[in-house]
A and B are shown apart, each in its own frame.
Chain A
Amino acid sequence: KENTARKDEL
């Protein structure tokens, strides 16, 4: 789930 939450890259 952390993958969907953490979108901090361009």
Chain B
Amino acid sequence: MNAFRLVGDLCHLAAIVLLLLKIWKSRSVAGLSGKSQILFGLVFVTRYLDLVTNFVSPYNTIMKVFFLSSSIATVYLIYTKFKATYDGNHDTFRMEFLLIPCALLAIVVNHEFSPMEILWTFSIYLEAVAILPQLFMISKTGEAETITSHYLFALGSYRGLYIMNWLYRYYYENNFDVIAVVAGIVQTVLYCDFFYLYITKVLQGKKLQLPA
């Protein structure tokens, strides 16, 4: 474990907590893409299948359990409890356009052609693009609530910090996973446009409005 990865995990945790707080306090899922949350749930389910078979550390297990349960809870809140506030008309990104390419790529490009390894690879590829429905929805509505933009900033920062973690592990632990690194770079690059808007607008106290 290194500081980059620890802070990255805490950013990821903060993002998920921020999202749950937004939903619970505003009693609304307005502006949230249920599709992205479904994809994140799928990412955790396919990545943490080794939750009970491969013990790494108490920290690792606790975080996996929290990420799994919170992502499933978020999907539940969006599609059942606060369904009335779900803006389905703007959450129209076709998930199959992400699921099928990621599945095919995971079958072709992986470290080992075994079910667990292919599912892990699928989860890595899917995580890289899982935010697209959410970013697409914001581009359609033209704006995002401030707390939603904090959520996105924390979520985008987490994988950016993981890139630093991979650099660190490459130089100091001679540990390198090209699949995770390439997907992590793609994932972080997808947030760049949002990062620019967040820093130039939200941090100036303005609401996140996309140029019409």
Task: Give the B-binding residues of A (Cβ under 8 A).
Answer: 1-4, 6-10
Once bound together, how far apart are the Cα atoms of A3 and B63, in whole Å?
21
Interface of A is mostly: loop
Contact between A7 and B54, CB atoms less than 8 A apart = yes
Interface of B is mostly: helix
Contact between A3 and B177, CB atoms less than 8 A apart = yes
Looking at the assembled complex, report how far the CB atom of A5 sits from the nearest CB atom of chain B, in whole angstroms.
9
Q: Binary interface profile of B, 99-123, with partner A (CB < 8 Å = 1, else 0)?
A: 0000000000001101001001000
In the complex, the chain A residue whose C-beta lies closest to that of B48 is: A10
Q: Which residues of A contact B162 (CB under 8 A)?
A: 9
- A10 with B9: in contact, given A3-B177, A4-B111, A4-B112 (CB under 8 Å)? yes
Looking at the assembled complex, report how far the CB atom of B9 sits from the nearest CB atom of chain A, in whole angstroms.
6
Once bound together, how far apart are the Cα atoms of A4 and B116, in whole Å?
9
Q: Which residues of A contact B50 (CB under 8 A)?
A: 7
Contact between B5 and A9, CB atoms less than 8 A apart = yes
